[in-house]
């Protein structure tokens, strides 16, 4: 049997080992997926398109109507001013990330990640031969250490990856921090890839700010975003990117040579979703409640320190006070009937666990009860 290429040697799969569905008796706090159904308006739009036979090849970057709706959405919610031609709709934000990495790096080039970061960035960069350079965030609040980022820039650095609100830490970088990172990128002529998939989920009183909305930011920032999180559309695989014209042209080529385009009948559904603000606000009201339940419940457990979760739907908790390593803690929790993620699976996450409060209130209450019984019995 022929060998597969060495490209896959040692390639990670992120949090995958801990995302396997456990038995039905286990409470799952692992999956970064909204516990809500996709809103009916969106489903109905997709069904109507199917019934009308919109199942053939179409414009690679997405229908003009959809790209225009994305441009309008970005201007309305995030002060990012682009035209429909500057938007490429992709199969999930994940694919847009891959295009962004291909566009900003060559094999051997360095990309700065703020550690701990989302588990897919590192393997995705390694997959294409780029070199992830992990710069730790401040452990007390998971905000960026600007001096450390500056110190990590070498003559091989091409890109800084931003993800605010952040998976896994829940940090929302302040406008000044975003400006500080942009200043470093301008000074060293670097790209910024800004993963803004959680941009509507901010629970603090400073706003999400995109570097693309700041002076000097638009020409060096590729913004990645998508429908999975705020509209509960994870399985529909819809994301997008926008950026300067040369980057968008390269993204169009990347898509033409890989996915072609997202399913034609989903384009209208994605367009409809962008105006479903009521659904986004309804989900957000629930997340705010669940965040407080999870934060207060975990904080009351012995040996666990919870850093204030500022955005997205994750809590990143320091469990070193329990005397266990994060994998021992996750294994013990699973035995107690709660699935959560030991953060040492990603660089810089040692001693922390990640829990998602996107799950329903019952699962939060039940999981907290189980952890309480387990930890108080120890
Ligand atoms: C930070 C971050 N970026 C991107 C994605 C991928 O989103 P999509 O489902 O649109 O591919 C996720 C999903 O978990 C994520 O947490």
Is any ligand 1 atom within 6 A of the Cβ of residue 228? yes
Instruction: pLDDT tens for the chain, 378 residues: list them.
Output: 999 999 899 888 878 777 777 888 999 999 888 889 999 999 999 999 999 999 999 999 999 999 999 999 999 999 999 999 999 999 999 999 999 999 999 999 999 999 999 999 999 999 999 999 999 999 999 999 999 999 999 999 999 999 999 999 999 999 999 999 999 999 999 999 999 999 999 999 999 999 999 999 999 999 999 999 999 999 999 999 999 999 999 999 999 999 999 999 999 999 999 999 999 999 999 999 999 999 999 999 999 999 999 999 999 999 999 999 999 999 999 999 999 999 999 999 999 999 999 999 999 999 999 999 999 876
Q: Which of 16, 228, 346 to mutate to test the pocket of ligand 1 (most atoms within 8 A of CB)?
A: 228
Atom of ligand 1 nearest to the CA of 227: 10
Q: How many CA atoms lie within 13 A of 281 on its CB side?
A: 4
Per-residue pLDDT at 22: 80
By the 10 Å C-beta count (0-12 exposed, 13-18 middle, 19+ buried), 24 is classed as exposed
Q: How far is Cα 82 from Cα 243, in angstroms, rounded to an integer?
A: 8
Is any ligand 1 atom within 6 A of the Cβ of residue 354? no
What's the gap in Å between 378 CA and the centre of ligand 1?
A: 36
What's the gap in Å between 93 CA and the centre of ligand 1?
A: 6
Q: How far is Cα 172 from Cα 358, in angstroms, rounded to an integer?
A: 17
Please state the pTM of the whole predicted model: 0.96
What's the gap in Å between 197 CA and the centre of ligand 1?
A: 6
Q: What is the DSSP annotation of 95-112?
A: HHHHHHHHHH--TT-EEE
By the 10 Å C-beta count (0-12 exposed, 13-18 middle, 19+ buried), 70 is classed as buried
CB 128 within 8 A of CB 104: no
| Per-residue model confidence as pLDDT tens digits over 4-53 | 999 899 888 878 777 777 888 999 999 888 889 999 999 999 999 999 99
Is any ligand 1 atom within 6 A of the Cβ of residue 217? no
Per-residue pLDDT at 378: 65
Q: How far is Cα 322 from Cα 340, in angstroms, rounded to an integer?
A: 16
Q: Buried (b) or exposed (e) across 212-244, using 16+ Cβ within 10 A?
A: bbbeebbebbbbbbbbbbbbbbbebbbbbbbbb
Atom of ligand 1 nearest to the CA of 195: 3
Per-residue pLDDT at 99: 98
Per-residue pLDDT at 24: 82
Is any ligand 1 atom within 6 A of the Cβ of residue 239? yes
Strand partners, 264: none
SS3 (DSSP) at 305: strand
All domains of the chain in start order, with CATH:
6-38+278-377 (3.90.1150.10), 41-276 (3.40.640.10)
Per-residue pLDDT at 191: 98
Is any ligand 1 atom within 6 A of the Cβ of residue 226? yes
Per-residue pLDDT at 290: 96
H or E segment at 90?
strand 87-90
What's the gap in Å between 94 CA and the centre of ligand 1?
A: 6
What's the gap in Å between 276 CA and the centre of ligand 1?
A: 20
Of 156, 158, 161, the residue nearest 135 (C-alpha): 161
CA distances from 351 to 112, 204, 237, 274 (A): 22, 25, 33, 38
**Which residues touch 188 (CB under 8 Å, ≥6 apart)?**
153, 157
Q: How far is Cα 328 from Cα 350, in angstroms, rounded to an integer?
A: 12
């Amino acid at each position: 049997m022929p060998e597969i290429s060495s490209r896959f040697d040692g390639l990670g799969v992120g949090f995958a080992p801990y995302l396997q569905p456990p038995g039905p008796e286990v409470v799952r706090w692992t999956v970064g997926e909204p516990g809500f159904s996709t809103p009916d308006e969106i489903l109905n739009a997709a069904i109507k398109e199917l019934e009308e036979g919109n199942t053939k090849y179409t414009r690679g970057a997405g229908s003009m109507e959809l790209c225009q709706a994305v441009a309008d959405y970005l201007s309305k919610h995030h002060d990012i001013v682009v035209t429909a031609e500057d938007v490429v709709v992709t199969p999930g934000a994940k694919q847009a990330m891959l295009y962004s990495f291909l566009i900003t790096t060559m094999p051997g080039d360095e990309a700065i990640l703020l550690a701990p970061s989302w588990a897919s960035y590192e393997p995705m960069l390694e997959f294409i031969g780029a070199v992830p350079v992990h710069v730790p965030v401040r452990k007390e609040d998971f905000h960026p250490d600007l001096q450390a980022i500056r110190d990590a820039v070498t003559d091989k650095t091409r890109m800084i990856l931003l993800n605010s609100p952040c998976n896994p830490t829940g940090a929302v970088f302040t406008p000044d921090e975003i400006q500080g990172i942009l200043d470093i990128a301008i000074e060293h002529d670097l790209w910024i890839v800004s993963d803004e998939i959680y941009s509507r989920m901010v629970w603090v009183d400073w706003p999400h700010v995109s570097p693309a909305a700041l002076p000097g930011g638009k020409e060096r920032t590729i913004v990645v975003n998508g429908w999975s999180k705020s509209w509960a559309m994870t399985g529909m695989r819809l994301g997008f990117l926008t950026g300067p014209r040369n980057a968008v042209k390269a993204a169009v080529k990347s898509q033409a040579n890989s996915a072609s385009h997202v399913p034609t009948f989903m384009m209208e559904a994605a367009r409809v979703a962008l105006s479903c603000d009521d659904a986004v606000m309804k989900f957000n009201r629930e997340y705010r409640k669940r965040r407080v339940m999870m934060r207060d419940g975990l904080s009351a457990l012995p040996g666990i320190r919870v850093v204030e979760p500022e955005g997205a739907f994750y809590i990143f908790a320091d469990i070193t006070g329990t005397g266990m390593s994060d994998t021992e803690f996750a294994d013990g929790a699973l035995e107690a009937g709660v699935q959560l993620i030991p953060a040492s699976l990603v660089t810089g996450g040692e001693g922390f666990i990640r829990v998602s409060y996107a799950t329903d209130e019952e699962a939060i209450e039940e999981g907290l009860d189980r952890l309480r019984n387990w930890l108080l019995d120890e």
